[in-house]
Amino acid sequence: MMKRFEPLSLLLVVLVALNWAVDAIFDWNAVNKIFGSGTGSDIVYILVGVAALTFIPKLMDELHLGRHGAHPHGA
C-alpha cells in the first residue's frame, strides 16, 4: 500500500525542498503564500514530514544499513 503513495510522497518532498531553496534565496515562501502562515501551512509541513519519513526504510535498504553481518558486494 505504501508503494502506491511513493510518487506522491516524493513529489511533496521535492516541492517543499524547492520551496525552502526559493525561501532561502529570494525570501519568498510559496507555502505561506498559498496556505497562509497559520494552520494550513502547518498541515502541509506535517504531511511533508510524514512523506519524508516513509522513505527512511527504502533509504536504509539502499544504503545497506540495518543488516546483520557483513555482506560485501563485488569481488
List pLDDT tens digits, range 11-49: 999 999 999 999 999 999 999 999 999 999 999 999 999
**Cβ within 8 Å of residue 60, ≥6 positions away:** 66
Q: Looking at residue 40, what is its pLDDT?
A: 94
The pTM for the full model equals 0.73
Q: Does residue 69 surpass a pLDDT of 60? A: no
Distance CA 61, CA 58 (A): 5
31: helix, coil or strand?
Answer: helix
